[in-house]
Each structure stands twice: as C-alpha cells, then as structure tokens.
C-alpha cells in the first residue's frame, strides 16, 4: 500500500502547456504515473506529446475520470486553479506554486474545509508526493526513491523542506531502504496538508513500518506533531529540524520559516519531538543513519 496516491491514481496537469507544467508533467508520466490529461483555458483539443489538453478541469474530469491534479501555474492563477479542481470533483490536489500570498492561501484553505471537505490539498510551495514505483506527482526526481519491498521494512517520509525531502529520499536509497510514500507538505504559512495529517496516514498504512519527519523553524507544526505522536503514533521515528543557527526575526527561505517572539525555534521543536520518543538527528545524514539503525531493529 501507500498513502494518498498509488498506481490507480489518474492525474491531470493544470498548466501542462506551460514550461514547468510540461517538463514535470512529462517526467511524471515517464516515471509511470497515470497522467491522463492537461488543462489550459483556450487550448482544448490540443495535446502535449500525446496527453490531451482540455479547456477546463470539469471537461478533463468528464473525459478521463481524473481524481488528482498537479497544479503548475503562476501565483496569481493558483488559488483559482485549486478551487476549480475541487469544484470539478478532484479529490487530491498538488500545488507546487511558490509565491502565493498568505491571504489567498488562507481563503483557499478555509473554502476547501467549508465547501469541499473530501478534497485534500498538498502544498502550495511543495515538491509534491511520490509513492515509489506507483505514482509521482510534482517535481521530485523518481530515480532517488528506493522502491518499497514486499517484506519491508519500509519508511514513510514527510517534510516541510523540498530540498531536504530529496536528501531524505537519497539517504535511504544509499542504505537500500524502501520508501512507502514521501510527502512534501511545503513551507508556506498555510499548508493544505499538515504533519499530523501525514503521520495519521502513515500510522494506519501497513506498508509503512517507520517514519522520517523533516521540520524547520517557524510556526508550531512540529510541536503539534509531537503531541500527536505521543498520543497516536506507535511506529519508530527519526527527525531533523532545519534552522538551528537561524537568527530570530529573519525569514529563512520559506515564508513560514521565521522565529518570532521566542517561538518556533529549532531547539524547542527538537525538545518536543524527543519528549515524544522521536530520535533526533543533528543533520539530515544523521537522521538517515538513525533510521537505518531503526530499520535494522525491525528486520
């Protein structure tokens, strides 16, 4: 099994005719993802290397039965694209777009909660999701993900940082450790999917035997995850928190990665996760090594 997406997921790409949408959409298809269509208003009836293009998400869903969307459109169009997908019946939306105003993100998130409770948004400003060997939606390079084994143990990954998502995947690949699903939730202040959402899915997934979590400074998502882990997660975990040396009040790359008022520090997050029983690496490689030791104990 895997979480959120698998080999049966039917994906459309909103923005398929644009540079980024075409590049990553075709890479996703080459990986084996079932990319069934693209959406660009005014370009319906065209195709991108055999992938049909539709004028609207509603048209694409009607023609293909798509249930997932990969959104690769500019920031000013992203909020409308997310809501268009939800209205058309898409239940899993991945938005990689960076630079969406936080106010727009908050409005979209609350609209989804109110009007489309069965829709899950991943992102914005995220690398996407990969269930190795089954489905890859977003910008993650499939070749750095080790396939899960039938016997296991397999590891689930959830990360706020895109780049560190890739490193976590590669650290496990170097150790020959299979990955059930890797989820990049993004580093913006209002993510559609949280650590807790992913941890709950991994806890219930029989193919996931251990979990790596990659967090960073800013906000309270890691502390909330720690509380959830203490109460609900029985699978062993390792983690890394980026931003130990970040100065207070300075945004570090991600819109949500800022320490303010003494809250959101890396140390506070590490302490909370340690108290919840999570093994903490002081760098991404150490988090991977800790997971390798955990996996040895599970075999």
State the catalytic residues. 254
Q: How far is the C-alpha of 25 from the C-alpha of 72, rounded, in Å?
A: 9
Q: Is the peptide bond before 124 cis (omega within 30 degrees of 0)?
A: yes
* Helix %, strand %, coil % of the chain (to 5): 35, 20, 40
Q: How far is the C-alpha of 219 from the C-alpha of 100, rounded, in Å?
A: 18
Residue 223's CB: how many other CB atoms inside 10 A? 19
The sheet that has 68-71: what strands, in order across it?
A: 47-48, 51-54, 34-39, 10-14, 68-71, 92-95, 120-122
SS3 130: strand
Q: How far is the C-alpha of 290 from the C-alpha of 299, rounded, in Å?
A: 15
Cα dihedral value 174, 178, 223, 227, nearest 10: -150
Q: How far is the C-alpha of 286 from the C-alpha of 215, rounded, in Å?
A: 14
Give φ, ψ of 167 to 5 degrees.
Answer: -65, -40
Distance of alpha carbon 1 from the chain centroid: 17
């Amino acid at each position: 099994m895997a979480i959120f997406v698998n080999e049966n997921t039917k994906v459309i790409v909103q923005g398929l005719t644009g540079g980024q949408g075409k590049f990553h959409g075709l890479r996703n298809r080459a990986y084996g993802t079932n990319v069934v269509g693209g959406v660009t208003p005014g370009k319906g009836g065209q195709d991108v290397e055999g992938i049909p293009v539709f004028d609207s998400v509603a048209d694409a869903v009607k023609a293909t039965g798509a249930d997932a969307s990969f959104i690769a459109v500019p920031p000013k169009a992203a909020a409308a694209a997310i809501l268009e997908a939800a209205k058309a019946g898409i239940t899993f939306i991945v938005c990689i777009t960076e630079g969406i105003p936080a106010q727009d993100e908050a409005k979209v998130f609350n609209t989804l909660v109110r009007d489309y409770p069965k829709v899950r948004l991943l992102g914005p400003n995220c690398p996407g999701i990969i269930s190795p060997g089954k489905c890859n939606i977003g910008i993650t390079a499939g070749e750095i993900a080790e396939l899960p084994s039938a016997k296991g143990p397999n590891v689930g990954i959830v990360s706020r940082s895109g780049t560190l998502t890739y490193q976590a995947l590669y650290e496990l690949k170097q150790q020959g450790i299979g990955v059930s699903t890797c989820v990049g939730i993004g580093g913006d202040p209002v993510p559609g999917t949280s650590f807790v959402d992913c941890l709950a899915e991994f806890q219930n997934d029989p193919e996931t035997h251990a979990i790596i979590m990659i967090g960073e400074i800013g906000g309270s998502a890691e502390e909330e995850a720690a509380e959830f882990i203490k109460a609900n997660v029985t699978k062993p975990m390792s983690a890394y928190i980026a931003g130990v040396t970040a100065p207070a009040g300075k945004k570090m790359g991600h819109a949500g990665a800022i320490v303010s008022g003494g809250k959101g520090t890396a140390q506070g997050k590490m302490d909370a996760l340690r108290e919840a029983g999570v093994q903490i690496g002081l760098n991404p490689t150490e988090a991977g090594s800790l997971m390798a030791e955990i996996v040895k104990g599970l075999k």
